[in-house]
Chains A and B, each alone.
Chain A
Amino acid sequence: MTITNREVNYIAELSKLELDEVSCDKMKSELESIVEFMATLNKLDTENAEPLTHIGNLTNVFREDKVEPSFDREEILKNAKNHTEECFTVPKTVE
Chain B
Amino acid sequence: MDVLNLTALELAEAIKKGEITSKAATESYLKKIAETDGDINAYITVDGENALKKAEEIDRRIQNGELLGPLAGVPVAVKDNICTKNLKTTCASKMLECFVPPYNATVIDRLQESGAVIIGKTNMDEFAMGNTGETSYFGCTKNPLSKELTPGGSSSGSAAAVASGEAVIALGSDTGGSIRQPAAFCGVTGFKPTYGTVSRYGLVAHASSLDQIGPIARDVRDLAAMMDIIGGVDPMDATTLSTEQGYLKALSGDVKGLKIGIPTEWFNAAGLDNEIAERVKSVAEVLSGKGAKIIEISLPFIDFAVPAYYIISSAEASSNLSRFDGVKYGARTDSENLSSLYKKTRTDNFGDEVKRRIMMGTFVLSSGYFDAYYRKALKVKAVIKQNFDEVFKSCDIILCPVTPTTPQKLGQVQDPVSSYLTDIFTVSANIAGLPALSVPCGVHSNGMPIGAQLIGNTLCDKQVLNTGFAYQSEVKL
Q: Which residues of A contact B (CB under 8 A)?
A: 8, 10-12, 14-19, 27, 30-31, 33-35, 37-44, 46, 49-56, 58, 61, 63, 71-72, 75-76, 78-82, 88, 90-93
Contacts and interface: CB of A to CB of B under 8 A. Distances in A.
A40 B382 contact: no
Given A31-B363, A44-B380, A88 B103 contact: no
Interface of B: 98-100, 102-103, 195-196, 209, 235, 238-239, 241, 301, 303-304, 307-308, 310-311, 318, 322, 325-332, 334-344, 346-347, 350, 355-356, 358-360, 362-364, 366, 373, 375-383, 385-386, 415-417, 420, 432-433, 458
Contacts of B209: 53-55
Given A51-B378, A56-B196, A12 B383 contact: no
Contacts of B99: 79
B332 A81 contact: yes
Closest 3 CB pairs of A and B: A55-B433, A51-B378, A79-B329
B301 A56 contact: no
A82 B328 CA distance: 8
Contact of B385 (A31, A40, A55, A58): A55
B183 to A, nearest CB: 23
B303 A40 contact: yes
B416 A52 contact: no
Tell me the interface secondary structure of chain A in the complex. loop
A53 to B, nearest CB: 6
A91 B303 contact: no
Question: Which has the most chain B C-beta neighbours within 10 Å: A42, A44, A50, A63?
Answer: A44
Contacts of A80: 327-329
Contact of A44 (B329, B383, B433): B383
Contact of A33 (B328, B366, B376, B416): B416
A44 B380 CA distance: 8
6 contacts: A12-B359, A15-B362, A34-B360, A41-B373, A44-B380, A54-B239
A10 B332 CA distance: 23
A78 B326 contact: no
B382 A50 contact: yes
Contact of B366 (A14, A38, A58): A14
Contacts of B350: 17
B119 to A, nearest CB: 24
Given A41-B307, A44-B301, A88-B327, A17 B358 contact: yes
A58 to B, nearest CB: 7
Contacts of A72: 102
B378 A38 contact: no
B382 A51 contact: yes
Given A50-B379, A50-B382, A78-B102, A91 B336 contact: yes
Nearest to B318: A15
